[in-house]
Amino acid sequence: MQHNTDILIIGGGAAGLSLALRMADTHHISLISKGILREGSTLYAQGGVAAVLDPKDSIKSHVQDTLAAGANLCNEEVVRFTVEHGAENIEWLIEQGIEFTRTSNNKEYHLTREGGHSQRRIIHAQDASGRAIETTLEHRVRTHPNIEIYEHHNAIDLITSTKIGHGDNNACLGAYILDRKFNRVEVFHAKHTILATGGASKVYLYTTNPDTSTGDGIAMAWRAGCRVANMEFNQFHPTCLYHPDAKSFLITEAVRGEGGILRLPDGTPFMKKFDKRAELAPRDIVARAIDHEMKRLGTECVYLDISHKPAKFIIRMFPTIYQKCLEFGIDITKEPIPVVPAAHYTCGGVITDINGLTDVKQLYAIGETAFTGLHGANRMASNSILECLVFAQAVSKHILKQAKPGANNIELPLWDESRVTDSDEEVVVTHNWAELRRFMWDYVGIVRTDKRLRRAKSRVNLLLKEIDEYYGNFRVTSDLLELRNLAVVADLIIQSAIDRKESRGLHYTLNHPQLKEHPENTVLRPRGYTHK
């Protein structure tokens, strides 16, 4: 089956949904989602969106805070561009119907503060901001006549002119998509394709992310001929709820922003030993401090305590966390929350320009999939959804400036599975998935060494070969596609970590603890890369 569309958006989080809504009045949109539309990282974001909204705040301050958190690797032009477009994108969200939390007098929006920020500038919807944004945008997308939604569809690979032998000027013409309901591969022919698939934190054993975060867009773009950058900078959120029955539940940084204290099992605070900003230090510092104390003491977790605040304040500010913790027998108004670090955000990704355009013509990347230069060596809290919104706006403007879309006149080849069979060895996929996530956690985690990275590289090379052989012989499944992409992304992370001979931001290695005087981005180029 073949589909023709103006714009193919792969991914249904804040980036993909906001772009769809900005483009749908003038273009036909096909929106691809691996699961149900809302199931992605945006839904689970708690903190909010950083933007300069308070008269006491300033663009300069937000820029400086972002540059400091990024450990001298941010692109200042991109940081300024993003921050300057923050307030108008918040206004756009409010126009879409998102109800952000107001102050007690109901006259203005309540702004909270998170690690790395010198001002209160996080606009939020209590402690479930991502849910408010995702569900509101989802409703508007579902009711727009120009947007077709394809849920339970996995993108397999991008179709480029180079791959099908149509000239040497590499352009994206669409994608092969697996319809899981009918177990068939369909061709989507598009004038513009946008990767908005999120990050790759499922490459790690412990993560705050949902199961969809398997690096699909990054892997597909790499195979299509795009460069990637800074894949070694994997952000580990310092505070994920530690409980045997709690799966990937994040404790928002706003808990620390509102006075939460990190304590050892005996109740001793410890963050001031590591940074003068204590609990409000950037995430990389807090995560390493927790990791250090857990290893030093041999303990399974530390504790985040906000019980010294009034109970009414805690319940009003953090109703979702309060209720979730109660389900596990933890009353956060009376006792501390057991927490551990977990993989949270992919700061690197597919290289784009300020319009969201990649190295491949007609192919864009936005959100966590992309490397814009905003985050540098460490993403500052609540700049993530801001980036999704600002660059979705930038992509929409770039496409709208171009000529009005005409007919698709290049015939795309159908998916060929004439030489593959159904597999009776899917245990291989399960085993490889588990092995990959375990060695990435053990060898390419919060603290790294040259020896650990070499071990990881040796193992991922074997896995890539085995997965490639399996992929070539059997019909594709959702699990196989995700494993294939995760293995590619794991290799990119490991190679990037090996290449960086210093400790900076989220990349901390015992063999190279120093900082280089003139840091550079880690740029990887696919085999045969030529950019025209």
Q: Domain 235-344 is of which CATH architecture?
A: Alpha-Beta Complex (3.90)
H runs (alpha helix) in 409-511 = 427-443, 450-473, 478-499
pLDDT higher than threshold 60 for residue 405 = no
Q: How confident is the model at residue 404 (pLDDT cuts 50, 70, 90)?
A: low
Q: For residue 60, what pLDDT is reported?
A: 98
Angstrom distance (rounded) from CA 33 to CA 482? 14
Residue 393: CB atoms within 10 Å: 19
Which of the listed CATH numbers 3.60.15.10, 3.40.50.1970, 1.20.58.100, 1.10.150.570 matches domain 427-509? 1.20.58.100
| 161-186 tens-digit pLDDT | 988 887 778 899 999 999 999 999 99
**Which of 389, 387, 259 lies closest to 314 in space, CA to CA?**
259
User: Has residue 253 got a pLDDT over 90?
Assistant: no
Least confident of 378-382, 403-407, 457-461: 403-407
* pLDDT beyond 60 at 406: no
Q: Residue 511 pLDDT > 80, yes or no? A: yes
For 74-94, how does the pLDDT look when each residue is reduced to its tens digit (9 = 90+)? 999 999 999 999 999 999 999
Tens digits of per-residue pLDDT, 326-383?
999 999 999 999 999 999 999 999 999 999 999 999 999 999 999 999 999 999 989 9
The mean pLDDT of the chain is 94
Asked whether the predicted pLDDT for residue 114 surpasses 60, the reply is yes
Model confidence at 457: pLDDT above 70: yes
CA-CA-CA-CA dihedral for 62, 67, 69, 70, to nearest 10: 140
Closest CA to 246 of 330, 305, 304, 318: 330
In the numeric block, which tokens belong to residue 203? Answer: 């490459």
> How many percent of the chain have pLDDT more than 90?
82
Asked if pLDDT for residue 22 goes beyond 70, the answer is: yes
Q: Are strands 337-346 and 111-112 parallel, antiparallel or unpaired?
A: unpaired
Whether 2-232+347-401 and 427-509 share one fold: the answer is no
**Residue extents of the structural domains in the chain:** 2-232+347-401, 235-344, 427-509
Instruction: Specify the pTM.
Output: 0.92
For Cα atoms 368, 369, 372, give the angle at the middle one, nearest 5 degrees: 75
CA distances from 256 to 220, 287, 405, 468 (A): 37, 13, 49, 44
Q: Kindly report each contact of residues 52-59 with a partner whose C-beta sits within 8 Å and lies 24 or more positions away, as own/partner.
A: 52/83, 52/86, 52/87, 52/121, 53/87, 53/90, 53/109, 53/111, 53/121, 53/123, 54/111, 54/119, 54/120, 54/121, 56/119, 57/119, 57/120, 57/121, 59/83, 59/84
User: What distance in Å separates the CA atoms of residue 502 and residue 511, rounded to the nearest whole number?
Assistant: 8
- What is the reported pLDDT for 407? 54
Residue 37 DSSP SS3? coil
What pLDDT shows up at residue 483? Answer: 96
Contacts of 498 (CB under 8 A, 6+ apart): 450, 453, 454, 457
Orientation of helix 14-23 relative to helix 384-401, angle to 10°: 30
Token pair 């698709």 is at which residue? 408
What architecture does CATH give domain 2-232+347-401? 3-Layer(bba) Sandwich (3.50)
Q: Which of 113, 131, 227, 283 is catalytic?
A: 283
Q: Which residues of 209-244 are buried (b: 16+ CB within 10 A; e: fewer)?
A: bbebbbbbbbbbbbbbbbbbbbbbbbbbbbbbbbbe
List, in sequence order, every residue forming a beta bridge with 524; answer none if it has no partner. Answer: 228
Active site annotation includes 283:
yes
